[in-house]
Chain A
């Protein structure tokens, strides 16, 4: 018997006929066959019911009529350009960072093109409920995304160090957006309690994560500290907050904050809610960052000390950059769960995405349209969360490779 070895050529491609694929993946054993048939029945039951409901019973008019409410809520109609501009800035910055981070690989791979194509088609499809104007604006946004990506790539290859400045650039963008949305300083002030809909959801989630980040890092450092008083205080805070349900903390922030502040100070509801989310998220972020701190080898600290750096400098320049880089995916995960948790705003009387759907449902015109509205906002939440988790997985690979 002779064996032929052809080194250097590619392995043979196993071409699988559909029938063998079905046999191998669906009917390999008798119980797999039964499972397949049961799953098919299950899918048929759910699918046919859902399709029948979608096309015969559901009345989708409620979505189209309230589209603006879902996204920007009660934001003043005349100032609507401000959310649009903010979205544009976010998209340009997103494209820019994307271009910088992927400067080494191919930017317009097949998957990216497919995703862009789907986005473009969605923008076109949106013109039916949202009107031709919004659809064109969305097309413009897509265009901005691509321009941002191309520019980011150019800049990234010319000045590679800019990748390290991205977090700072985003922080500046955050304050610009805050100014743009809330007004003040040359712009008309919009009352914070007037923010509602998806814009409030995003506002609360982003402001809370930014605020809780420094607290979380400090608490994590405190928990790892060798000074007993600081360590025990940090542990007490973290464990106490992690043991309480979020809704309790939110109510506490609404009811207790006015009681423990001097009687002259009045905080808006949104600010109190953000305080609650910040108190809550800081404890969870601290645990995430602690994981990163523990992953930094001791040798790094010892080497830095041997070079004569003082303890604060060791922490700022040696330990924290490595620790935070290691936990970026977990921090994104924390942000996703914070984004989902902002739906609790609806219980404490604020009109976020879920709250606004509750108030639409309360109007007699749309009585009983629960299925349609909940499905629609579920899709919005899903798109936001799923795209963030995909991006964080990409980022994880990217950081792992560097």
Chain B
């Protein structure tokens, strides 16, 4: 090998690539060591110690109350039970928030594209108002200016004799949980599965066979009527009963003002963002698709269902996923209005015991797993609606 062919090492790309990586890793490690040693020193100075043992220690009860808990909980339970309650509370808000926000968001998003001028304007004003004000302000507004300002329980606002609004919360009719309820639920699930199968068959008949699918449509209609009847009469609804003597409302579902605020606030806020996603998704479908489908003689409902919506859905799912993730993360604002979600509970524990680092880790792991679960569910859904190319 002659001298000219040999490149000096400081002009060699490969050499620099390795050196840069080593330098960056060294800096990161050094920063971590610096911060970590400070942490250890500060722990010693403040006489703190690290460990998760206190979570399950029966001799150290949580000793704080939790307003609404879906499982039995008392102040004498260990901290781990309090965290579990917080987890369940968070899940409750996230799941119902995501469902409600999707429904409202899709409705408003379609409203923004409506032929009706008035509906379009209302939807636009809603979206632009909600998107341009902070969520925390909206939550404070709902909590202090709306839900806590409702009349006292002896004089509630009543809708349709079954929905009671009071400053102690919202009372809604709810299935009683008897055998009849469970049987009806089973029937509803069955008819849902059946309807899904029929719907698929009908789409196939229309797309492949070119037939109208009228008989299957009749079947679907029958199932729908049966399901609605079951929902109204079969579920054994329990109405909240106003007991004027005891000054209380019994029966049905009681949403505390905090839970109601969080649900309403998160739903309305996220729905405005989802509406924009839906609008953008539908508008992203080329105009030619509408025109071609119309030219083939499809009615506008079928155009939407067979041509536009499947294409729009592909565009909508990734941004929709990030809106769901935002909702999950924003549910941690519960701490501002005193709803005990997992973040609020961890915060209380951290203040009470001084175990800031441990509780921080708990919060991090919790939210990262929430995110992972939502993201992988949505990715699975995304894969199932993508074009299947050869």
- Report yes or no: A347 in contact with B136, Cβ–Cβ below 8 A: yes
**How many residues on A have C-beta within 8 angstroms of the other chain's C-beta atoms?**
54
Flag whether A378 is at the interface (Cβ < 8 A). Answer: yes
Q: Distance (Å) between the CB of B152 and the closest chain A CB? A: 15
Known contacts A36-B116, A374-B145, A354 near B134 by CB under 8 Å: yes
List B contacts of A25 (CB < 8 A).
115-118
Cα of A262 to Cα of B42 in the assembled complex, Å? 8
Partner of A370, one of B35, B134, B145: B145
Flag whether B309 is at the interface (Cβ < 8 A). Answer: no
- Report yes or no: A39 in contact with B41, Cβ–Cβ below 8 A: no
B:262-310 near A, CB below 8 Å? none
List A contacts of B145 (CB < 8 A).
370-371, 374
- Report yes or no: B128 in contact with A340, Cβ–Cβ below 8 A: no
Known contacts A252-B360, A260-B38, A244 near B119 by CB under 8 Å: no
- Report yes or no: B122 in contact with A227, Cβ–Cβ below 8 A: no
- Report yes or no: B357 in contact with A259, Cβ–Cβ below 8 A: yes
Kindly specify which of B19-27, B198-206, B207-215 makes contact with the partner chain. B19-27
Q: Distance (Å) between the CB of B268 and the closest chain A CB? A: 13
List B contacts of A346 (CB < 8 A).
136, 336
Cα of A354 to Cα of B143 in the assembled complex, Å? 14
Partner of A381, one of B28, B137, B330, B360: B137
Partner of A259, one of B42, B132, B347: B42
- Report yes or no: B117 in contact with A26, Cβ–Cβ below 8 A: yes
- Report yes or no: B330 in contact with A343, Cβ–Cβ below 8 A: no
Q: Distance (Å) between the CB of B21 and the closest chain A CB? A: 4
- Report yes or no: A247 in contact with B115, Cβ–Cβ below 8 A: no
Known contacts A39-B119, A374-B137, A263 near B332 by CB under 8 Å: no
List B contacts of A227 (CB < 8 A).
17, 20-21
Dominant secondary structure at the A interface: helix
Cα of A26 to Cα of B357 in the assembled complex, Å? 59
Partner of A35, one of B35, B119, B131, B371: B119
Cα of A328 to Cα of B83 in the assembled complex, Å? 42
- Report yes or no: A245 in contact with B367, Cβ–Cβ below 8 A: yes
Flag whether B183 is at the interface (Cβ < 8 A). Answer: no
Flag whether A131 is at the interface (Cβ < 8 A). Answer: no
The 0/1 profile, CB within 8 Å of A marked 1, for residues 325-340 of chain B is 0000110110110000
Flag whether A299 is at the interface (Cβ < 8 A). Answer: no
Partner of B24, one of A42, A229, A263, A386: A229
Flag whether A44 is at the interface (Cβ < 8 A). Answer: no
- Name the residue on A nearest B363 (C-beta): A248
B:33-68 near A, CB below 8 Å? 35-36, 38-39, 41-43, 45
Flag whether B364 is at the interface (Cβ < 8 A). Answer: yes
**How many residues on B have C-beta within 8 angstroms of the other chain's C-beta atoms?**
53
Flag whether B129 is at the interface (Cβ < 8 A). Answer: yes
Q: Distance (Å) between the CB of B48 and the closest chain A CB? A: 9
Flag whether A127 is at the interface (Cβ < 8 A). Answer: no
- Report yes or no: B21 in contact with A228, Cβ–Cβ below 8 A: yes
- Name the residue on B nearest A252 (C-beta): B360
Partner of A244, one of B42, B133, B367: B367
Flag whether A166 is at the interface (Cβ < 8 A). Answer: no
Known contacts A255-B356, A260-B35, A32 near B134 by CB under 8 Å: no
Partner of B39, one of A260, A354, A378, A381: A260
- Report yes or no: A386 in contact with B115, Cβ–Cβ below 8 A: no
Flag whether B350 is at the interface (Cβ < 8 A). Answer: yes
- Report yes or no: A261 in contact with B119, Cβ–Cβ below 8 A: no
- Report yes or no: B367 in contact with A263, Cβ–Cβ below 8 A: no
Partner of A247, one of B24, B343, B368: B343
Partner of B356, one of A28, A230, A256, A371: A256
List A contacts of B140 (CB < 8 A).
354, 358, 370, 374
Cα of A358 to Cα of B117 in the assembled complex, Å? 39
Known contacts A229-B25, A230-B24, A340 near B335 by CB under 8 Å: no
Q: Distance (Å) between the CB of B327 and the closest chain A CB? A: 11
Flag whether B233 is at the interface (Cβ < 8 A). Answer: no
B116, B368, B371: most-surrounded residue (chain A CB, <10 A) = B116
Cα of A246 to Cα of B329 in the assembled complex, Å? 8
List A contacts of B20 (CB < 8 A).
227, 230
- Report yes or no: B21 in contact with A248, Cβ–Cβ below 8 A: no
Flag whether A233 is at the interface (Cβ < 8 A). Answer: yes
- Name the residue on B nearest A38 (C-beta): B119
List A contacts of B133 (CB < 8 A).
340, 378, 381-382, 385
Q: List 21 A-B contacts (CB under 8 A).
A: A25-B116, A26-B116, A39-B118, A42-B122, A229-B24, A243-B371, A245-B329, A246-B329, A247-B333, A255-B350, A255-B360, A259-B43, A260-B38, A343-B136, A347-B335, A354-B140, A370-B145, A374-B144, A378-B137, A382-B133, A386-B128
**Interface of B toward A, CB cutoff 8 Å:** 17, 20-21, 24-25, 28, 35-36, 38-39, 41-43, 45, 114-119, 122, 128-129, 131-137, 140-141, 144-145, 149, 329-330, 332-333, 335-336, 343, 347, 350, 356-357, 360, 363-364, 367-368, 371-372
Since A36-B116, A36-B118 are in contact, a sample of 8 more A-B pairs with Cβ atoms closer than 8 Å, ordered by chain A residue number, is A32-B115, A39-B119, A263-B38, A263-B41, A354-B140, A371-B145, A382-B129, A385-B131
- Give the 4 A-B residue pairs with the shortest CB-CB distance, closest first: A25-B117, A385-B132, A245-B332, A343-B134
